[in-house]
Structure 1
Amino acid sequence: MRRILIVGGGYAGFYTAWRLEKKLRRDEAEVTLVDPRPYMTYQPFLPEVTAGSVEARHVAVSLRRHLRRTRLVAGTIVTIDHAHRTATLRLAAGPERELHYDVIVVTAGAVTRTFPIPGVADEAIGLKHVEEAVAIRDRLLTAFERAATLPPGPERRKLLTVTVVGGGFTGVEGFGELLSLATALLKHYPELSADDLAFHLVEVRDRILPEVTDEPGRWVVRHLEKRGGHVHLETKLVSAEGGHIVLSDGTEYDNHLLIWAAGNQSNPVVARHTDLPVDEQGLFRVRADLRVGTDDAPVPDAWAAGDNAAVPDLASKVPGGHVVPNAQNAVRQGKRLAKNIVADLRGRKPKPYVHHSLGTVATLGLGKGIFQYRRIVITGLLAWLMHRGYHVLAVPTWERKVRVALVWTAALFYGRDIVSLLSVQHPRDAFIAATLGDRDRQVTRG
């Protein structure tokens, strides 16, 4: 049988494997998927996880539960030698080893883009994985508990100060959801007021949400500032050392929670550790049918999709453009990729990937959102409902759709869950404290 290796279990990788299971005959090919995590994260829900609107586990789709005919390997591919049809695998424990394949599908995604800014490595939390979203939520809730015990002043102000770097979808949605959560929490903390909150959104460009046009983008800025947020456009983060924020516009303040959402960069394995052709941005050069290579020089048995591939945008009127690297495209590319691989195995011609955008929708907090499709712009509650409706349909598997819908329904009657479980990040602290207490009592008795 032909051996198909899928590198990465994100949107594109998961959907490719899922569809291959349905389309391949059992004796036609064996599929192996390599990813360090045992689940696919539905990233559009991460901002709502930070605000407690979605349960964290519900945005993680188990690979083993839904990919029953795929061999799953928990590890990371560190090099790809396509000339010899070999990939080097690094497991969580043990030495590196080689995987041999006949067909490779690289859907390894991108990694968080960072810059050598003082303090960022020590202070910032990303917003790309579900664990990060949970940590952000717990830190904010714990900060409210601590702030409520302090008198008005610098310490209280610092605890309730949040900075989000990055004005793309992730940054703006995360900022809006956290601001919504913090505002709602005030009714549970009579010791605190809106004047104690300080939320800052920092964006290096002159606008936020580049996926929408100028006027809707300006509306989002006005909307966030009306709710008490501070939006710093054309501004860079200069330093975050010791929790003290310094911005290029001269603003300085003490900060408790720093969230890094400044976009993605090419996966280092794709950019530097493969013999497959990549462009100047470190992305795979692929044809419209998602085969690696160009129309003149296709690479046999190599395919790529998602954030690690420069996919030609056949739906665009601008020649030479590439598909926007977002969840909407990655999901559909995965489906098309599976069909094309099966077609290629059976001697048929693969079809090009063409997708016309369904529009852009973003949540800005509970009951607040924005939607744009061409010249049609909808804001407020209706846009927020459209956001929820689209994503509950888009999240893979009916099991996850039902779980998310049930949590949203419960929240209509009982509101958000505001319990912080920050201690989960240090599960042994209570046991260690109890152990030390036993030793002290033994010393005292002695």
Structure 2
Amino acid sequence: MPSSLQLVDRPRVLVVGGGYVGLYVALNLQKKIATAGGIVTVVDPNPYMTYQPFLPEVAGGNIEARHAVVSLREHLKGSEVIQGSVTSVDHENRKAVVELPGDQGFVEIPYVDVVLAAGSITRTFPIPGLAEAGIGNKTIEEAVALRNQLIERIEFASTATDPAERKRALTFVVVGGGFAGIETIAELEDLAREAVRNNGRLRQEEVRFVLVEAMGRIMPEVTADQAEWVVKHLQSRGVEVLLNTSLANAEGSLKLINMPDKTPADEFEADTLIWTAGVQANPMVRSTDFPLEPRGRVRVLPDLRIAGDEGIIDNAWAAGDVAAVPDLTGKGLPDGTCVPNAQHALRQAKVLAKNLWANRWDKPLVDYKHKNLGAVAGFGPWKGVANINVLGRIGLTGPLAWVAHRGYHGLAIPTAERKFRVMLDWFSSLFAGRDTTPLQGLTNPRAAFETAARPAPKPAAPASVPAPAAASDGAGEKVPAGAK
């Protein structure tokens, strides 16, 4: 069904995706394109950009969920923002089809330039039961759900009388030992510790956290010594770290296997299964006429123009997780492309915007080349690990690493308004602690109203109560009940 959406009738730069790349490309181009008589149009299913490095802290209750996202419409006032999903791109005819939310149908959007910035989605495997039992931590909705799930399960366990139910509710499993998985399990373990401390019916020893990683080490972004320190740190907090182990089945109980011989490792039940085992390029790029490389990413040159075997494709650009951007420093992935992370995406966006504008005026383009500044991770207040590559390599663990983590990400989140809100969250949590208040009923917020709006049931007939037996007066005579 075609939509009646009214589009701005001006030459358009279409930005597919409102994440790191989409937001920064629009911020850097909207005034310039408007001055030249055009318009920047950003299309994304969500009305906000999510700062994903903050998702573990949202799940852990240190950052308010809304403060980890950046409103596109509020901060892109010079752009045309459309909430919807790009279903196909026909670059030969310079048109894209967008599906609008609800039943509003589809709209065809013409453009002059297109920027593919659709990012990535969680990478999963065909493991039986995973789709039904698992949850990721890549969206703000998932982070909020994880926080509420953990607190609700702890509260449930505190009143459960069945030992098996209690044990299952207090078992939390994270699959994936990268930055996302380690930060998620560390923040949630801290949150669980606080929730149990507030509940006198539970003991901390009853709570079980399990980290499952298929490789022989965790966090490849840091040194081997730092990775070993992280493992020991997690183990000191009671977290079970299972390396060279993979999830084989999630139907009913979780079945783990040893890698690489695929022999059984362990089997147990858990109500909470969190999957953080990597990402993959957004599959929407398969509905375009652009060249893709084997991993499903768009092929681009170092200047971020899309190019195939037949050469450069005019007026087509891509960056971020959805693009195979060559890493000219030689420090990237084994295939020679940039690691899919926020650090690269933010910087690629600025280079892309500069090159797109320069290309309009036939000016020279610059190649994207960025030396990785390192990596920082937080594991809860005053706990963390950092590998900083500024003046040589500096390896940090503990409080200094945690300060570096907060310092870097506090500056990196877009817009001054969001920086201010996040820093206020951090300041308050240092003194007031984590917020362990759950928000229940979010999946069905109308439940209370529906219950109130139903007709009141007719009162049930009182159950017949048998008359009390007559008591004895002590001399063999029975006295009627109630008599003195």
1:313-352 map, 5 Å = 313-316=327-330, 321-352=336-367
2:475 paired residue number: none
Query: Measured at CA, do residues 444 and 19 of structure 1 come closer, stay the same or move farther in structure 2, by a change above 3 Å?
Result: farther
State which of 40, 48, 69 in structure 2 corresponds to 1:60: 69
1:275 paired residue number: 289
Q: Deviations over 1:292-311 (max 9, x none)?
A: 11698111100000000011
State which of 392, 400, 406 in structure 2 corresponds to 1:388: 406
Bigger helix share: 1
State which of 108, 111, 114 in structure 2 corresponds to 1:101: 111
Q: Does 1:264 align with 2:245?
A: no
Q: Does 1:74 align with 2:88?
A: no
CA distance in 1, matches of 2:320, 2:98: 21
Q: Which amino acid aligns with 1:209?
A: M
Q: Deviations over 1:282-323 (max 9, x none)?
A: 111111111111698111100000000011111226896111
SS across alignment from 1:423: coil
1:238 paired residue number: 248
How far 1:216 sits from its partner (Å)? Answer: 1.1
Q: Is the 8 A contact 2:305 2:313 kept in 1?
A: yes
1:104-183 map, 5 Å = 104-151=114-161, 153-183=163-193
User: Is the deviation greater in 389-398 or in 287-296?
Assistant: 287-296
How far 1:129 sits from its partner (Å)? Answer: 0.5
How far 1:71 sits from its partner (Å)? Answer: 0.7
2:197 paired residue number: 187
2:313 paired residue number: 299
Q: Is the 8 A contact 2:31 2:78 kept in 1?
A: no
2:465 paired residue number: none
SS across alignment from 1:54: coil
User: Is the deviation greater in 123-132 or in 287-296?
Assistant: 287-296
1:440 paired residue number: 457
Q: Which amino acid aligns with 1:360?
A: A
Q: Which amino acid aligns with 1:94?
A: Q
2:466 paired residue number: none
Q: Deviations over 1:393-425 (max 9, x none)?
A: 100111111111111111111111111002122
State which of 82, 98, 102 in structure 2 corresponds to 1:89: 98
SS across alignment from 1:241: coil
TM-score by length of 1: 0.95
CA distance in 2, matches of 1:368, 1:157: 28
Q: Deviations over 1:183-241 (max 9, x none)?
A: 22222112211211110111111111111122211211111111100111111111111
CA distance in 2, matches of 1:208, 1:441: 61
State which of 425, 430, 433 in structure 2 corresponds to 1:407: 425
2:467 paired residue number: none
SS across alignment from 1:17: helix
User: Is the deviation greater in 205-214 or in 9-18?
Assistant: 205-214
State which of 388, 394, 411 in structure 2 corresponds to 1:373: 388
- Kindly name which structure, 1 or 2, has the bigger radius of gyration based on alpha carbons: 2
1:186-265 map, 5 Å = 186-242=196-252, 244-249=253-258, 250-265=265-280
CA distance in 1, matches of 2:248, 2:17: 34
User: Is the deviation greater in 286-295 or in 349-358?
Assistant: 286-295
Q: Which amino acid aligns with 1:213?
A: T
Query: Measured at CA, do residues 444 and 66 of structure 1 come closer, stay the same or move farther in structure 2, by a change above 3 Å?
Result: farther
CA distance in 1, matches of 2:156, 2:211: 23
CA distance in 2, matches of 1:29, 1:313: 32
How far 1:442 sits from its partner (Å)? Answer: 7.5
Q: Is the 8 A contact 1:139 1:422 kept in 2?
A: no
How far 1:433 sits from its partner (Å)? Answer: 2.5
Q: Which amino acid aligns with 1:429?
A: A
How far 1:12 sits from its partner (Å)? Answer: 0.5
Give unmatched runs, 5+ long, in structure 2: 1-9, 259-264, 463-484
User: Is the deviation greater in 99-108 or in 318-327?
Assistant: 318-327
User: Is the deviation greater in 16-25 or in 346-355?
Assistant: 16-25
State which of 35, 39, 50 in structure 2 corresponds to 1:26: 35
CA distance in 1, matches of 2:93, 2:423: 47
TM-score by length of 2: 0.88
Give unmatched runs, 5+ long, in structure 1: none
Q: Deviations over 1:240-264 (max 9, x none)?
A: 113x211114211110111111111
CA distance in 2, matches of 1:23, 1:355: 25
1:422 paired residue number: 440
2:478 paired residue number: none
Q: Deviations over 1:356-398 (max 9, x none)?
A: 1111101122221000135421000110111011111100111
How far 1:152 sits from its partner (Å)? Answer: 7.9
CA distance in 2, matches of 1:263, 1:298: 30
CA distance in 2, matches of 1:433, 1:245: 36
Q: Is the 8 A contact 1:135 1:422 kept in 2?
A: no
SS across alignment from 2:442: helix
User: Is the deviation greater in 370-379 or in 56-65?
Assistant: 370-379
Q: Which amino acid aligns with 2:316?
A: A
Q: Is the 8 A contact 2:43 2:81 kept in 1?
A: yes
Moved over 3 A (4+): 22-25, 317-320, 441-445
CA distance in 2, matches of 1:146, 1:177: 20
Q: Which amino acid aligns with 1:265?
A: Q
Q: Is the 8 A contact 1:177 1:366 kept in 2?
A: no
